[in-house]
Structure 1
Amino acid sequence: MTSGPQPTDDVVELRVHGVSGAGAEQILDRPHSYQVAGDGSGGFYRPRPGYPDAEGPAGVTLEAYRWSDLPSGTTVRTLSLVFLLPFMLCNVAIWMRPAARGTSGAGLKAVCRLLALTLTMLYVLAAMGVALDLVAARCMSNPTCLTGRPWLSWLGGRPTGLRLAVLAVAPAAALTLVWRLGVRPGRNFDAFHTTTNGSGPHQLSAVGQWDSAPVVGRLRSVHVAAGFVTLSTGLLIARIYSGASAVSVVLGVVAGAMLGACVALICAHCWIDAPDSGPVDRVCAGLRTAACVLTALVLVVLAVDPTPWRPHVGLPGYSMLGSLVILSQTILLFVLGVMVFASRGQLRRGATAAGGPAGPASGVDTDEMRRGFGCDGLGSGPLQGLGAPVIAAVATGLAIALSADLVFRVADLLNRRAAADGERDISAPLGFKWAIFVFLVAAATVLIGAVVVTLASRSARMRTARATVARDFPDAPPAARYRLRQVERTIARARFTERLEILAVVYACMVGAGLPTITLGMLQISPGEVVERLTGIPEAATNFGIQVGSFLIAVVVLGLLIGGIFAYRTAEFRRYVGVLWDLGTFWPRAAHPFAPPCYAERAVPELSRRITYLTEQGHGVLLTGHSHGAVLLAATVLQLPHQVCGHLALLTYGSPLRRLYGRLFPAYVDEEVLREVGERVNWRWVNLWRDTDPIGGWVFSPHRPGREPVTPGPPGTVDRRLRDPADVVPPPGDSVPPQITGHWPGEADSRFTAAVTDLAGRLRTRHR
């Protein structure tokens, strides 16, 4: 006799929202709700009893899980969109490894973590460039620059070492700020570290069972240590360049040893990734403390060291240190690309040895599969297996561009009065000018590429869109011609999503090719000189282009800030910003500890507990997930015990499981994982998708109603395509045709209601 949930006919429909971040009433499609579990960040809500229409379709009990406030509040999230974006992208890159089995995941992880460490060092170097190179070394040695600036002039006549020691507090404070911001989000997840034991053999099943707090804490300690060591190293190099003393040389050796220790710890996965290891925690914390003490000691030595400083333009050695960090990033990106290409080769050899890549069953018409968002199989496309180096290059290029523009803009601000009075220019190091030039060339190339890709793909996308509209609305009247054209354009735009991968690859290639040129700044070679020598374009034109590039970066930053604000005030804009944010924060912080926190670390365990509780009360549970909510539910199903899964059904709509996650994260979301999800719920799974959706899509088979599924067996019954819009002519009693839904949830759609009724009926039949 088995123990377990007692079956009843009562079914709870648990709705999990996606990128919309809607309120509980909107998710439930009911005007009044109350919270039954959770808190303000992540909570479960039901319609308030006593009001009409409190039940859902087929008499199910409605419940909604709202998780959109888990990562942080609106203000923090908006700022994070700008300042933490490179960190977030670097963190995502570590999860985008190829799907080949037996590859050196440890090596790829080490390279990604080292690259993340250099981003922290670059962050500190940018702050040093403003406070120490521009202000302390350049502006304070220029009387005209100090005129009218009392907040700087009080240090103008002080010794160089004292000026540097005082203003070094600014980069130290900037590092401390991101350090504290990185600690803050952990409070939301403290109660969710207990894991379940029902996970499957697949990588995605581990989502929500990660207790990344120890790993993130160790990485954070190492990054803070590396940041303070970078500050100390820059100051000591300046001291040694301008007149070495015994103390500065000794401290320089200590700083080099501590930086080597940071690199060694980052690469020691057996230490960093240990689940519970007090000694490792103490080592990392001790290294962080030692780095802070070293920085304090260096500041004291600089302030009191009587050794005279030799005249020098700018902070001595600063340009070299920045160029070395960027050169190391170039090498790491190259190594990462080589490792990934080797893994892709291994994957192809394995597929060939196994008899070729998996595809549709023999005799099945593959025309639908080819039309399925432009790919023939799961994870195919330009980024298949190349996501790690491409996204890492994008993150690095963005971080360098933001850092360079910060220094360049401040230099321009400080230089205006000095240049007007004929004093020596206060200019940014040439390496940063090269960085802006590389960004300008990469951005121009991507812009040209976007135009080319748009025009080149337009005919194919429009041809497919017209064929789709012709099949969906064969009897449309002539008066609906304008509406038909609108639908065609919407479908064509939705099919452009996959082409974005091409643009990402182009940008990454341009950044990877351009990064080595930044080291020319160490040789005092300007971009204008090289361009004029190679192309004959006057140096003045190149300098003007660099100014334009600097303003372009500022526009990007401003656009991200405004976008972050409007993303939480404009629902239409929120769809596109939200999908990128949710995609980036779904994965734990395994590379960069200052990245935004992983919402799945709380959401998946919280869903698991709630689902288990409902089944223990004798309820069948219909899980309905929109957009990223479908990903959360898939990860939840994979870790639930089998006796709980026996009382579940799954309804997904607008799901990016295959279209985005399968292409970008092939090692974690593949055909085997998706089939495991279906088997766990005994194929009580329906996936609704639309051609007008730019984010979601089919999971197993892109077949149309009335046609045989591309995938045979139970997986072929999962996907149901919805015609969108429902019609192109106004319904009786209305003056406008039905709206185009696209990626919007559409719980009020009668076809959604029919799917809920179908799955609820299957659950009740199962219980009888």
Structure 2
Amino acid sequence: MHLVAGDKKGGFYRPRTGYGDSRGACGVLLETYRWSELPSGAAARTLSLLFLLPFMLCNAAAWMRPKARISGAIVWIGCRLLGLSLTALYVLSFVGVALDLLAYKCMSRSGCLSGRTWLSWLVGQPVGLRVALLALVPVAAIWALWLAGSRCGHWYGTFIPPPDQATDTALGAIGTRHASSGVDQLRTIHMAAGLAVLDLSLLAPSWSAVGHGVLDILLVVGTLTIVVGCVLLLCLPRGVDDPTGAAAVGAVAGALLAASAGVTAVVLGLAAFGRTGWPAAAGLPGYAEAVVVVFVAQGALLALVGIAALVGRDRQPGRQTTISGLGAPLFAGLAVGLAVCFATEFNYRVSDYLDRDMPTPDMLPTSPVLPYKWTMFGFFVSILGALVTGAVVVLISHRQRRREADSIVAWDFPSVDEQTARRRDMVRDAIARAQFTERISTLAMTYLCVAILSLGFTALALVELQPAVAAQDLAHLPTDFVSAGTQFGSYLMALLFVGLLIGGLFAYQTLAFRRYIGMLWDLGMFWPRVAQPFAPPCYAERAVPELARRVTLLVEQGHRVLIAAHSHGSVLAVASILQLESHVLPRIALVTHGSPLRRFYSTLFPAYAGADVLHEVGNRIGWRWLNLWRDTDPIGGWIFTLNGSHDGASRRPSTVDRRLRDPQDLDARGHDTVWPPVRGHRPCVTDDRYVDAVCDLADRLRAG
């Protein structure tokens, strides 16, 4: 293959002449679009994106809002406020390590400083000076966020952006400035809020140690005003999203950031040189309360998003999964859960490092604040609840899934012998496993409900109530069980982090990881940054318009273009078709296989990839569209029809879906040396039925 357009990050390739037949089925000229370097790239970049995973999930949750106007607006604003809380929690985690654990707790213990020359040089310095110097750690963390959010990811360097033009569908706006007009303003707002959180953390000790002078009052009121201003800007219905008001919103956001930076400079200066009465307390004053406020606010916002999504859920007749319309609270809950895990583990791992060679680290002054212990126990309960629910769902649905799979294999393979009967049972089990995708949302809903309750119960830390004592008093649970669960929750958090690290390292490097973990990564990075500006850059901002422009160029050169897309590539293809101009559409056809358009995108993103959008795509290309799907595929599936049934909207969509029997046969005797494989989510390009579909569409294009 050689590159004919684009670059190595996103390029178009054709077979080299002289290396066999350069044409495909029915003589069509082959050209492939390779875009995998946009969301993944080198292993180091993939690992760096791993730490932005909570931001990515929260940003994707905003795009999962329901179609209903009021409910959709509430979900949109709720996800944006959740994104702001993730930024606040990110800053607080570094404040906990630098100021609470190091500046206050570790500095008060000679054993903690033993052998640590990089820290012991601060011994003997005033508490305020220690705080001011170590406060540069969260400042650097905030600056790292700024670099991550402002780096060139919008057009990926060499890509020439298309002209600014409006489209009549929201999905077709991906890659245009209409989809993410306020990302710069959003980043400025989050930076202002992050500095404000640091300022409040620095003001809390002086506020509790000395009298409230005029300057103290002015600094606190000014910082709280900045926080309120950031929240109000995110709550405006058409503030950050409205291109016409971008200048005004940008000016206000810039003023908030400048004011927040000014307050930070003043507070750091007063801490280092102007204060002598800072308390030498056992921990950073007010830090535990700040963590509880963030956790409780996140729990309340998750409940608000969940109620709004449930009320605005689309209840149109037809086969729907239990996750339909509820993607926003589920993904937002996963984002908050991961962020809480990262913050908790970060503080506890640093605490373990500081408490080296000590027999009882939980009782030492360098232990993290009590709210983090509550989150460890809450995480243990959430995982336990999800596992129990999963086991129940598997047992309850097993008989129904097995019955449906039996009917499918009986239709596909009506006659079997003793040698193929075992193979038929394996195919039935593969179909039954693939059908579990529609039922996995019950596990996620259980986790979400328990996580919301766990975040709310962290408020008990304000009265210095330990999880073991509270569980015994409120639920009469054994204290040993709760203590063991809390410790086990910490191990689960560490295991989760290691698992994500391995998954991020091998994603797009190994086929198995690319098929399943890459699916989630592609789904999250496909959407522009509208709720969290520090999420990984949206690769679709280049891939979608680049594919549309290449198709347009080929058509203008006199070609007829048949777009063949597998898995997530079908989402890129659909979004690109929505950007094509009217004179290009009559020469376009589409074949999709292993497509998640109905199974995931229509259910998770009803306002952007619902059935109406998919019908619009079919109408635009004159229903020159074939979708190939298998019952053994846990990701892809049918789009308009199920098993050839009519969807009730139009007779044309009933000709789109073509079910492929998988495997093609049970018995390979006389044809091969091994049993025919179960293909599942693998591409269909080696299947003769794929060739038939390509030839069918090619004939339609030639006839048209």
1:499 shift after superposition: 1.4
2:549 aligned with 1:609? yes
Q: 1:157 to 1:550 in 2, by over 3 A?
A: same
Q: What's the CA shift string for 1:626-662, capped at 9, x where partnerless? A: 1111111111112212221111111010111111111
Match of 2:8 in 1: 40
Match of 2:694 in 1: 756
User: Do 1:702 and 1:710's aligned partners in 2 also have CA atoms closer than 8 Å?
Assistant: no
Aligned match for 2:191, one of 202, 221, 224: 224
**Residue pairs, 1:140-289, within 5 angstroms:** 140-186=107-153, 188-189=155-156, 191-195=159-163, 197=165, 199-200=167-168, 202-211=169-178, 214-244=181-211, 246=213, 247-275=215-243, 277-289=246-258
Give the match's secondary structure for 1:186: coil
What is the percentage of aligned positions where both structures have the same residue? 46
Aligned match for 2:53, one of 62, 85, 98: 85
Match of 2:347 in 1: 407
Match of 1:118 in 2: 85
Greater mean alpha carbon deviation, residues 263-272 or residues 652-661:
263-272
Match of 2:635 in 1: 695
Q: What's the CA shift string for 1:333-354, capped at 9, x where partnerless? A: 232233333324xx56xxxxxx
Tell me the distance in 2 between the aligned counterparts of 1:578 and 1:503: 21
User: Do 2:50 and 2:500's aligned partners in 1 also have CA atoms closer than 8 Å?
Assistant: yes
Q: 1:39 to 1:431 in 2, by over 3 A?
A: same
User: Do 1:142 and 1:423's aligned partners in 2 also have CA atoms closer than 8 Å?
Assistant: no
Match of 1:721 in 2: 659
Q: 1:708 to 1:506 in 2, by over 3 A?
A: closer
Q: What's the CA shift string for 1:595-630, capped at 9, x where partnerless? A: 112121111111111111111111110011111111
Tell me the distance in 2 between the aligned counterparts of 1:232 and 1:709: 57
User: Do 1:193 and 1:211's aligned partners in 2 also have CA atoms closer than 8 Å?
Assistant: no
In the superposition, the TM-score normalised over structure 2's length comes to 0.95
Q: 1:186 to 1:567 in 2, by over 3 A?
A: closer
Aligned match for 2:458, one of 508, 518, 527: 518
Tell me the distance in 2 between the aligned counterparts of 1:327 and 1:213: 30
Q: CA RMSD in A?
A: 2.2
1:465 partner amino acid? A
Tell me the distance in 1 between the aligned counterparts of 2:360 and 2:630: 61
1:116 partner amino acid? G
Greater mean alpha carbon deviation, residues 657-666 or residues 477-486:
477-486
2:527 partner amino acid? W
Q: 1:77 to 1:461 in 2, by over 3 A?
A: farther
User: Do 1:92 and 1:587's aligned partners in 2 also have CA atoms closer than 8 Å?
Assistant: yes
Aligned match for 2:293, one of 307, 324, 338: 324
Q: What's the CA shift string for 1:702-749, capped at 9, x where partnerless? A: 225xx8887761111111000111112225352102211111112121
Larger RCO of the pair (alpha carbons < 8 Å, separation 6+): 1
Q: What's the CA shift string for 1:477-508, capped at 9, x where partnerless? A: 32122322221121111111111111111111
Q: 1:383 to 1:591 in 2, by over 3 A?
A: same
2:342 partner amino acid? L
Gaps of 5+ in 1: 1-32, 349-356, 359-375
User: Do 1:146 and 1:152's aligned partners in 2 also have CA atoms closer than 8 Å?
Assistant: yes
User: Do 1:404 and 1:436's aligned partners in 2 also have CA atoms closer than 8 Å?
Assistant: yes
2:447 aligned with 1:478? no
Q: What's the CA shift string for 1:24-82, capped at 9, x where partnerless? A: xxxxxxxxx11111111111111112221111111100000111111352335532553
1:323 partner amino acid? V
**Residue pairs, 1:306-321, within 5 angstroms:** 306-321=275-290
Q: 1:765 to 1:513 in 2, by over 3 A?
A: same
Tell me the distance in 2 between the aligned counterparts of 1:338 and 1:621: 45
Match of 2:43 in 1: 75
Tell me the distance in 1 between the aligned counterparts of 2:505 and 2:425: 33
1:423 shift after superposition: 8.8
Aligned match for 2:304, one of 335, 339, 351: 335
Q: 1:146 to 1:618 in 2, by over 3 A?
A: same
Tell me the distance in 1 between the aligned counterparts of 2:251 and 2:431: 56
Greater mean alpha carbon deviation, residues 190-199 or residues 75-84:
190-199
Q: What's the CA shift string for 1:59-117, capped at 9, x where partnerless? A: 100000111111352335532553111111111111111233x4354333222111110
User: Do 1:624 and 1:650's aligned partners in 2 also have CA atoms closer than 8 Å?
Assistant: yes
Tell me the distance in 1 between the aligned counterparts of 2:341 and 2:354: 20
1:340 partner amino acid? A
User: Do 1:145 and 1:417's aligned partners in 2 also have CA atoms closer than 8 Å?
Assistant: no
Q: 1:472 to 1:421 in 2, by over 3 A?
A: closer
Aligned match for 1:445, one of 368, 379, 385: 385
Match of 1:646 in 2: 586
2:531 aligned with 1:591? yes
2:595 aligned with 1:626? no
Match of 1:735 in 2: 673
Gaps of 5+ in 2: none
Q: 1:574 to 1:314 in 2, by over 3 A?
A: same
Q: 1:568 to 1:673 in 2, by over 3 A?
A: closer
Match of 1:138 in 2: 105
Match of 1:675 in 2: 615
Give the match's secondary structure for 1:562: helix
Q: 1:155 to 1:311 in 2, by over 3 A?
A: closer
User: Do 1:145 and 1:418's aligned partners in 2 also have CA atoms closer than 8 Å?
Assistant: no
Q: What's the CA shift string for 1:487-545, capped at 9, x where partnerless? A: 11211111111111111111111111221101111111110111122344443442222
2:444 partner amino acid? A
**Residue pairs, 1:16-35, within 5 angstroms:** 33-35=1-3
Match of 2:21 in 1: 53
User: Do 1:600 and 1:632's aligned partners in 2 also have CA atoms closer than 8 Å?
Assistant: yes
Tell me the distance in 2 between the aligned counterparts of 1:297 and 1:163: 16
**Residue pairs, 1:293-442, within 5 angstroms:** 293-344=262-313, 357-358=316-317, 376-377=318-319, 380-417=320-357, 424-442=364-382
User: Do 1:327 and 1:519's aligned partners in 2 also have CA atoms closer than 8 Å?
Assistant: yes
Match of 2:434 in 1: 494
Q: 1:151 to 1:460 in 2, by over 3 A?
A: same
Match of 1:15 in 2: none
Match of 1:745 in 2: 683
Match of 2:64 in 1: 96
1:762 partner amino acid? R
2:602 aligned with 1:662? yes
Q: 1:421 to 1:110 in 2, by over 3 A?
A: closer
Give the match's secondary structure for 1:652: strand
User: Do 1:626 and 1:654's aligned partners in 2 also have CA atoms closer than 8 Å?
Assistant: yes
Tell me the distance in 1 between the aligned counterparts of 2:448 and 2:231: 25
Q: 1:742 to 1:424 in 2, by over 3 A?
A: closer
1:388 partner amino acid? A
Q: 1:298 to 1:555 in 2, by over 3 A?
A: same
1:188 shift after superposition: 3.5
Give the match's secondary structure for 1:564: helix
Give the match's secondary structure for 1:687: strand
User: Do 2:153 and 2:538's aligned partners in 1 also have CA atoms closer than 8 Å?
Assistant: no
2:684 partner amino acid? G
Tell me the distance in 2 between the aligned counterparts of 1:197 and 1:150: 59
Tell me the distance in 1 between the aligned counterparts of 2:151 and 2:669: 52
